[in-house]
Amino acid sequence: MKTPKNVETHVWRGGIPLESRYTAGLGGQIFFQALKERGELVGTRCAACKQVYVPARAFCERCFAELTEEVKVSPEGTLVSFTFSAYDRDANRLAEPVALALVKLDGATTTMLHRLLRVTSPEQVRIGARVKVVLKPKAKRTGSILDIEGFQLA
Amino acid sequence: MNGRVGIIGIGYTAAQPTTPYSSFKELMFEAAQRAYFDAGIDAAEVESFVTCAEDLNTGLSIFDEYTPDQLGAVQKPMHTLTQDGLHGIADAVMQIKSGLVEVVAVEAHSKASNILTPDWILDYAVDPIFNRPLGFNPHALAGLEMNLFLHETGITPQQVSQVAAKNRTNALRNPLAAYPARLTADDTAAGPYAHYPLRETEMAQTADGCVVVVLASDDKARAAASQPLWVRGIGFANDSPTLESRDWVHAEYTRIAAQMAYRMAGITNPAREIDFFEVDDTYAYKELQHLIALGLYPNRPGEAGRALEQGLTRPDGKTPVNVSGGCLGLGWTLEASGLYRIVELVLQLRGQAGPRQLPGAKMGLAQSWRGVPTTSGAVAILSSEQKPWE
Ligand SMILES: [Zn+2]
């Protein structure tokens, strides 16, 4: 076909309202209930695989077993990795980058992603540092991952 | 019937930052026409079609319903994979090896310039209960992974910058590339951080484009108009999907996919037996991580950085990597990325790669990753020679 010359290209814009509900499930329920009511971090253990999954899960991804043994893990842990992200989800550059931390809580074999609080530059942070969970006060907790404010350097 | 599968035709458009005149269907029509012409067949001779696309990237739901007409696939067997194009190659190989059909066309394209909210689409792929509420830009996951990868392997930020410089520079010799630039590691290391320690200059920019690859059984391939290239090995795998329990240092999805492909191809020493590599470099550090997972540096992963510094992965080095320019130089064409790597393999193995032709290339490897937040990968090994015992 001939490419049009000096002709405005025709485009149409479209979109839909896209919203969903997500069920936390039995595993998620255990985790969020403990977090909201007791301020505790609860996982499930697979004894066969020597895994402690936090947040709690209903099944083991390694051996396919149903998991029933609940385990409370420590609110302290080790910084596995971190980043300072300079963009928001809408791809706008932020005035101040957001710090994110990947943390292995003591007693867990999995890592947990959350914000890293009270740091402003990478020079203040090192992989392997000790960190601790900062929770919202009980009155403000709703049973969400945001009941955790984030991690802070211990 | 034996189990050999050959690639008998490729068709493609150049990767471009934007394609304002052509609709995605017209890009596909162009690439398909070229592929069938290259193979010396009519569209009617293609028995089955595989397209690779993500609904939200196309701005449509149930995208597979939008694909038959522009490929000549109306009233024919066809389906869509929500995967990179290399998975489509694996799909075609299985269809042919099963004896179900003898000629399959695999298509993938990108019309990324029409995606108005790309980071929101990636965000919608992040776990909605445990991760998405944090409200971070999904590319930050690459920053997190890169930081740990450097920490564990001893690979330096300068070496990662050098990957970006190499691939942008390689793209200068590729007329299909959207982002060629003569850059040094100092140039790319001067870019601002996007997701520390990942710099803007170390992230591939999206491009539009389309590739169609025609595969055929041994008999059909021998009769093809163009020199057939043989699929010697194919593999695909995933790590754990969750951010909580995946491996953040090693690209396990690539290691497992490569083991599958090596087993099929009878390869025991990939660095010695394979002449060149086209691997995912959506983020520059990923090239090094993927080469390690492919088993090129079995003794110490840090060698990946030193090999790069010594120029071993340059086009004139012992193990050329991303001679095409990779995603960094050619452009990140979303699901079509793996098929652009197949295009490079085919051109090199046919001796049609022009100014970037690698002398004596007989076997090449293509590897793909589906991008953040996934752990989905595939590997394909092509050769101009059949296995001697087949
Ligand atoms: Zn288990």
Quick one: closest CA in A to B143, which residue?
A: A83
Cβ-based burial of A142 (10 A; exposed 0-12, middle 13-18, buried ≥19): exposed
**Mean pLDDT, range B203-215, rounded to an integer:** 98
- Considering CB atoms only, which of A82, A88, A144 is closest to B137? A88
User: Cβ of A100 and B131 within 8 Å?
Assistant: no
**Mean pLDDT, range B247-258, rounded to an integer:** 98
Whether A6 maps to a domain, the answer reads: no
Given CB atoms, is A49 within the 8 Å cutoff of chain B? Answer: no
Report whether A106 contacts A57 (CB < 8 A).
Answer: no
pLDDT at A103: 98
Residues whose CB falls within 8 Å of the CB of residue B269, separated by 6 or more in sequence, listed in order: none
Quick one: closest CA in A to B197, which residue?
A: A83
User: Cβ of B242 and A61 within 8 Å?
Assistant: yes
Report whether B168 contacts B180 (CB < 8 A).
Answer: yes
Tell me: cis bond preceding B68? Omega within 30 of 0 counts: no
Residue keyed to tokens 């990140």:
B332
Report whether B88 contacts B341 (CB < 8 A).
Answer: no
Whether A57 maps to a domain, the answer reads: yes
User: Among A76-80, B2-6, B103-107, which is the least confidently predicted range?
Assistant: B2-6
Same domain, B23 and B101: yes
Average pLDDT of every residue of chain B: 96
The torsion of the CA quartet A129, A131, A116, B150, rounded to 10 degrees, works out to 30
Distance separating alpha carbons of residues B237 and B84, to the nearest angstrom: 12
pLDDT one-digit tens code per residue, B341-361 = 999 999 999 999 999 999 999
Report whether A90 contacts B165 (CB < 8 A).
Answer: no
Same domain, B90 and B158: no
Q: How many helices (H) and strands (E) does chain B have?
A: 14, 11
State the pLDDT confidence band at A10, using cuts at 50, 70 and 90: confident
Distance separating alpha carbons of residues B182 and B35, to the nearest angstrom: 31
Query: How many structural domains does chain B have?
Result: 2
Determine how β-strand A93-105 pairs with β-strand A112-115: antiparallel
Asked whether residue A6 carries a pLDDT value surpassing 70, the answer given is no
**Mean pLDDT, range B240-259, rounded to an integer:** 97
CA of A46 to the centre of ligand 1 (A): 5
Same domain, B96 and B197: no
Same domain, B262 and B357: yes
Which amino acid, B293?
A
Report whether B283 contacts B142 (CB < 8 A).
Answer: yes
Report whether A54 contacts A73 (CB < 8 A).
Answer: yes
Cβ-Cβ contacts under 8 Å, B59 against chain A: 14
State the pLDDT confidence band at B168, using cuts at 50, 70 and 90: very high
Query: How many structural domains does chain A have?
Result: 1
pLDDT at B225: 86
A window 69-88, beta carbon within 8 A of B: 80-88
State the pLDDT confidence band at B2, using cuts at 50, 70 and 90: low
pLDDT at B389: 52
pLDDT at A138: 98
Which of A11, A13, A81, A112 should be substituted to probe chain B, the one whose Cβ sees the most B Cβ atoms within 10 Å? A81
The torsion of the CA quartet B138, B142, B148, B154, rounded to 10 degrees, works out to -170
Whether B370 maps to a domain, the answer reads: yes
User: Cβ of B137 and A110 within 8 Å?
Assistant: no
Same domain, B165 and B218: no
Whether A16 maps to a domain, the answer reads: no
User: Cβ of A100 and B193 within 8 Å?
Assistant: no
Q: Could you tell me where the beta strands, DSSP code E, fall in chain A? A: 41-46, 51-53, 69-73, 76-87, 93-105, 112-115, 130-135, 148-153
Same domain, B343 and B236: yes
For ligand 1, a single-atom ion, the residues with CB < 5 A are A 46, 48-49, 60, 62-63
Same domain, B111 and B236: no
User: Cβ of A87 and B20 within 8 Å?
Assistant: no
- Considering CB atoms only, which of B123, B197, B248 is closest to A102? B248
pLDDT one-digit tens code per residue, B295-343 = 999 989 999 999 999 999 999 999 999 999 999 999 999 999 999 999 9
User: Cβ of B21 and A4 within 8 Å?
Assistant: yes
Given CB atoms, is B62 within the 8 Å cutoff of chain A? Answer: no
Asked whether residue A48 carries a pLDDT value surpassing 60, the answer given is yes
State the pLDDT confidence band at B224, using cuts at 50, 70 and 90: confident
C-alpha distances in Å from residue A94, one per residue of A29, A116, B125, B154, B197: 34, 16, 22, 30, 16
State the pLDDT confidence band at B1, using cuts at 50, 70 and 90: very low
Nearest C-alpha neighbor of B380 from the set B365, B363, B390, B370: B365
Same domain, B87 and B160: no
Whether A59 maps to a domain, the answer reads: yes
Whether A12 maps to a domain, the answer reads: no
Same domain, B235 and B301: yes
Same domain, B251 and B292: yes
pLDDT one-digit tens code per residue, B169-204 = 999 999 999 999 999 999 999 999 999 999 999 999
Whether B389 maps to a domain, the answer reads: no
Whether A7 maps to a domain, the answer reads: no
Backbone Cα Rg of chain A: 21
State the pLDDT confidence band at B3, using cuts at 50, 70 and 90: confident
Question: Which CATH number goes with the domain that contains B259?
Answer: 3.40.47.10
User: Cβ of B151 and A127 within 8 Å?
Assistant: yes
Asked whether residue A97 carries a pLDDT value surpassing 70, the answer given is yes
pLDDT one-digit tens code per residue, B128-153 = 999 999 999 999 999 999 999 999 99
Same domain, B368 and B256: yes
**Mean pLDDT, range A38-64, rounded to an integer:** 98
**Mean pLDDT, range B199-223, rounded to an integer:** 97
Distance separating alpha carbons of residues B196 and B157, to the nearest angstrom: 11
Given CB atoms, is B196 within the 8 Å cutoff of chain A? Answer: yes
Given CB atoms, is B119 within the 8 Å cutoff of chain A? Answer: yes
Same domain, B278 and B161: yes
- CA angle centred on A94, ends B333 and B245, rounded to 5°: 60
Backbone torsions φ then ψ of B350, nearest 5 degrees: -85, -10
Range of the domain at B198: 139-202+229-383
Range of the domain at A76: 25-153
Given CB atoms, is A92 within the 8 Å cutoff of chain B? Answer: no
